[in-house]
């Protein structure tokens, strides 16, 4: 499963490299970069809760397979459009929405399936390993994307992504899943309410969901707007864009490795919030820095901080919930985590023409510093949150 997911994610980043660059090239407007990110995440906000219910009552492996088929189809459609020189911006935006629709059902199924493949004592390491494959792909993907884009053209970036889905499809067919979905007559709406009630009643879950939303709202937009920074601040081309993406991915791998190394330590909740504090500071520093070597260091540190905080929070959530509720709870958590990305991207897309890219990104970084400071200082006084921020569970 790890190998299949890694190959598929590499393909996704190969396509994203070309897609972000081409959207900005076609429009010369950062708003469309934000709009593309927003439309890719919008279906997740609309359908993720329903996807979580299905993940608890249907075959999770089959649900994931259908999700991969949808995404593979979209990649090949883009390949044909670019090969025939018929592509328009609205084609890219529409297909981003369809891919997001597939992910809205596949995401909860994957999050619920992963813990059933390992024993509970190995869960934290499994989550860290999953983060490592994702961020290994963040390094390899843009590198391959840059090569394919330069040597063969954008068409091959989309074709390689389509082919890469075969790896995860084969791995899903091969693996054996322990979870058997229980038969139920409960309506989808009632099942959704049960999941939300579980989050509200289970101590520590609500603050983690709020933190997940704030993390992606203020901390995940940096890489999405790198083409603007590369063009307007450094006055460079795709090579610099590729370098910064690779450094961000390398930092993220280091962050995931640190989480794996300290899985037995207590105080993971506090460490997650401290990592968010560091992410806010480095984002603000990167925004105002105009010297490329220092920016390279800052984006590396930001990558480590964002992945450390995300992995720690996800481990805490997975350890708190029961397997029978895992699909629904993870759909809510994923919804909060994913919803922040498009909202942050849209806000930044509107702010950049008004304030400039440096001021806009710096304001997001400082906002994240404020959120982390609030949870460190104010929320520690709340008993239900205090128990979870200071301990593993």
**Dist. CA 233–CA 223, nearest whole Å:** 14
Under 8 Å between Cβ of 343 and 241 = no
**Dist. CA 165–CA 15, nearest whole Å:** 12
Residue 266 has a pLDDT of: 59
Under 8 Å between Cβ of 220 and 306 = yes
Q: For CA atoms 20, 37, 311, 109, give the dihedral sign.
A: negative
Residue 379 has a pLDDT of: 62
Q: At which residue do the structure tokens 């970036």 appear?
A: 157
Residue 133 has a pLDDT of: 80
Instruction: Find the Cα–Cα–Cα–Cα dihedral 174, 179, 185, 189, rounded to 10°.
Output: -90
- Other CB atoms within 10 A of residue 150 CB: 11
Instruction: Find the Cα–Cα–Cα–Cα dihedral 57, 61, 63, 65, rounded to 10°.
Output: -170
Task: Give pLDDT tens digits along the chain (393 positions).
Answer: 888 888 988 998 888 878 877 887 778 777 787 788 788 878 877 887 788 777 777 778 888 899 999 999 999 999 998 888 888 888 889 999 999 898 888 887 887 787 778 877 777 677 777 777 876 777 788 778 878 887 887 788 889 999 999 999 999 888 887 666 566 656 667 777 777 777 777 766 788 888 888 888 888 777 778 888 888 888 887 788 878 888 887 888 888 788 777 655 556 677 888 889 999 999 999 988 888 899 999 999 998 898 888 888 877 777 777 666 777 777 788 778 877 877 887 788 888 888 888 898 999 999 999 998 888 876 665 554 555 544 444
Residue 392 has a pLDDT of: 45
Residue 393 has a pLDDT of: 40
Residue 256 has a pLDDT of: 77
**Dist. CA 108–CA 50, nearest whole Å:** 9
Instruction: Look up residue 264 and give its DSSP letter.
Output: T
Structure tokens at 32: 């469309």
Residue 66 has a pLDDT of: 92
Reported as type and span, the H/E element at residue 236 is none
Report which of 347, 101, 309 is spatially closest to residue 212, judged by C-alpha positions.
309
Structure tokens at 312: 């720690």
**Dist. CA 294–CA 290, nearest whole Å:** 8
Q: Which residues contact 336 (CB under 8 A, 6 or more apart)?
A: 209, 210, 212, 213
User: What is the Cα Rg of the chain in Å?
Assistant: 20
Q: Is 219 helix (H, G, I), strand (E, B) or coil?
A: helix
Structure tokens at 187: 């309506």
Q: Is 112 helix (H, G, I), strand (E, B) or coil?
A: helix
| Phi, psi angles (nearest 5°) of residue 26 | -70, -30
How far are the Cα atoms of 20, 124, 276 from residue 318, in angstroms, in the given order? 32, 9, 20
**Dist. CA 343–CA 89, nearest whole Å:** 20
Reported in sequence order, the residue ranges of 150-301 that DSSP labels E, i.e. its strands, are none
| Phi, psi angles (nearest 5°) of residue 85 | 60, 30
**Dist. CA 18–CA 141, nearest whole Å:** 11
How would DSSP label each residue in 138-188? HHHHHHHHHHHHHHT-HHHHHHHHHHHHHHHHHHHHH------PPP----H
């Amino acid at each position: 499963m790890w190998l299949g997911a890694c190959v598929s994610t590499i393909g996704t980043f190969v396509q994203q490299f070309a897609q972000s660059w081409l959207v900005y090239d076609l429009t010369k407007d950062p708003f469309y970069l934000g709009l593309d990110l927003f439309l890719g995440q919008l279906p997740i906000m609309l359908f993720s809760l329903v996807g979580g219910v299905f993940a608890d009552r249907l075959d999770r492996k089959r649900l994931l397979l259908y999700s991969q088929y949808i995404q593979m189809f979209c990649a090949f459609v883009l390949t044909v459009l670019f090969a025939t020189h018929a592509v328009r911006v609205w084609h890219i935006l529409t297909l981003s929405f369809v891919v997001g629709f597939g992910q809205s059902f596949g995401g909860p199924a994957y999050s619920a399936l992963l813990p059933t493949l390992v024993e509970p004592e190995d869960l934290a390491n499994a989550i860290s390993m999953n983060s490592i494959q994702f961020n290994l792909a963040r390094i390899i993907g843009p590198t391959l994307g840059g090569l394919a884009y330069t040597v063969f053209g954008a068409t091959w970036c989309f074709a390689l992504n389509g082919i890469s889905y075969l790896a995860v499809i084969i791995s899903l067919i091969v693996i054996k899943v322990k979870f058997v979905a229980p038969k139920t007559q409960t309506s989808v709406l009632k099942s959704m309410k049960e999941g939300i009630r579980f989050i509200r009643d289970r101590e520590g879950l609500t603050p983690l969901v709020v933190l997940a939303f704030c993390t992606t709202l203020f901390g995940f937009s940096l890489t999405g707007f790198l083409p603007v920074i590369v063009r307007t601040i450094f006055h460079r081309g795709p090579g610099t864009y590729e370098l910064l993406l690779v450094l961000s991915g390398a930092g993220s791998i280091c962050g995931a490795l640190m989480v794996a190394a300290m899985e037995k330590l207590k105080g993971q909740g506090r460490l997650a919030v401290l990592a968010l504090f560091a992410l806010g500071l480095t984002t603000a520093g990167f925004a105002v820095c105009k010297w490329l070597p220092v920016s390279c260091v800052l984006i590396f540190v930001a990558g480590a901080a964002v992945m450390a905080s995300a992995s720690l929070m996800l481990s805490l959530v997975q350890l708190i919930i029961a397997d029978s509720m895992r699909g629904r709870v993870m759909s809510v958590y994923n919804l909060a985590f994913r919803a922040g990305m498009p909202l942050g991207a849209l806000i930044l897309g509107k702010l950049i023409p008004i304030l400039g890219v440096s001021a806009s990104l710096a304001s997001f970084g400082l906002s994240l510093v404020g959120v982390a400071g609030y949870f460190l200082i104010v929320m520690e006084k709340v008993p239900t949150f205090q128990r979870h921020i200071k301990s593993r569970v």
